[in-house]
Amino acid sequence: MQISSRWTCQVNPAGHASPEVISTRHLQSSKVPSSRIGRLFHYGSLAASLGYGAAFEMVRRTTSAQEQTSSVMMTEANIKRFVSKLSQMRGAALKLGQFMSIQDTHVLPPDIDKIFRRVQDAAHYMPDWQMEKVMASSLGPDWASNFTSFDRIPFAAASIGQVHRAELAPAVSPTGKAEPVAVKIQFPNIAHSIESDLGYIKLLLTAGRLLPKGLFLDKTIQVMGEELADECNYIREAEFLRRFGSPEFLGNDPRFKVPWVWEGSTKSILVMERVNGVSVGEADQHSLSVTDRNDIGSWILELCIKELFEFRMMQTDPNWTNFLWNPHTRQIELVDFGATRTYSKEFMDDWLHLLLAAASEDRGACIDASLKLGYLMGEENEAMLDAHVQSMVLLATPFKASTKQPFAFGPNTLWTDITADIRAQIPVMLQHRLTPPPRETYSLNRKLSGAFLLASRLGSVIDTKQIWDGVTQKYTFSSS
């Protein structure tokens, strides 16, 4: 269903709602398949339609004199079918696409990468009756009494939920007055469909042997399932919001704004203070001054380093819509903590040892730290060792003592050459890797890659060594 307007539910003291129609952008809604049988039916129909599309392409090619070297499965028509179905299904399959597409590493075959990139922000939203059912089951049949207004059409939809604008009623507001809020509503039964969804999508991806074995898809899916299960618990996310907003973390840092959380939030409904910034990825680059672009890139990179080595707690989803820039307050507003991970002191000790070894280009220490972390097994050939060490040394380039500061990101810079060199190592590692990366590094590397990508997009010029030293020189290793 295509929607070309939205209506806001104004709730008067008697509890009656009066709709106010407001023009908005075109959005698309569809029922979220919530039963296991229903989701299996949809994945089965996708497999059938992909097979039909491949068969049609084979017939077309037999009657064409033009040489065809691309896959008959990954035609443009089949890619559209794949994207459309993942957008409708939401849940783990869509999250896997976002998970695997956020890094600019070119590890995926181009056709698969194209699918995952298209679904990053392609989720549908629930029809009104289904949203109403979720709200009533979580907050009670009189849920609307908590709000003086509630926008029935969401302004954002992602893999596990959608977000609505609303105004919290004074009687339940933490300030005692009506407050603008964002209401995140989880899709029904998404948490219970994670394992089966990932199993279905694995079958679709492996049927045509389209992915290299070095990706260790089984491990990726296992980690993805565990992380997604955490993200489906909004009580957990609310707790991380409170922790990041506390004085011990970011509460006293004027560069960042962490919204407050409504105490009435539940496992499937999260209500938080609504902020006014725009996505750092969508902000008009021409409207940002050089100072703004440098500050945004610098502050987000510093936050990443502090999350690792000071907090040992990181919001690991680097999607640019999670970071909003408010030009009036000159703050970065942080709005999504569902993907927050914590790290043990032992792991972080070993991880920092690896980065320090890479920054000093100490091959032996780099291999030793990688063995301890589980990147390597000790039986790798020289080609794999060389590629692994070289990729780590390249990644640590911004933090080397010999690197000229401030460090420029963006096109036609040293960083452009570094990313190209890292990509050149990937085919070797995919061919010779003997073990998947450590579990903790899946999300950690995703966030670091995202921070570097954002700095590149903004063309930020950052004193990366000063940021690195300012955080890591205060780090205390555990005694051996």
C-alpha dihedral, 335 to 341 to 344 to 347, nearest 10°: -110
Residues 388, 394, 399, 402, Cα dihedral to 10°: 120
The one-letter code for the residue type at 306 is K
How is residue 455 written in tokens? Answer: 């700095």
Report how far residue 257's alpha carbon sits from residue 138's, in angstroms, rounded to the nearest whole number. 28
421 catalytically annotated: no
Three-class SS of 214-263: HHCHHHHHHHHHHHHHHHCCHHHHHHHHHHHHCCCCCCCCCCEECCCECC
Bridge partners of 184? 163, 270
Q: Which residues contact 348 (CB under 8 A, 6 or more apart)?
A: 308, 309, 312
Q: Identify the sign of the CA torsion 380, 386, 388, 393.
A: positive
Chain centroid, CA 328 distance in Å: 26
279 and 324 Cβ atoms separated by less than 8 Å: yes
- Which candidate in 197, 317, 336, 349 is catalytic? 317
The three-state secondary structure class of 361 is coil
Q: Which residues are catalytic?
A: 317
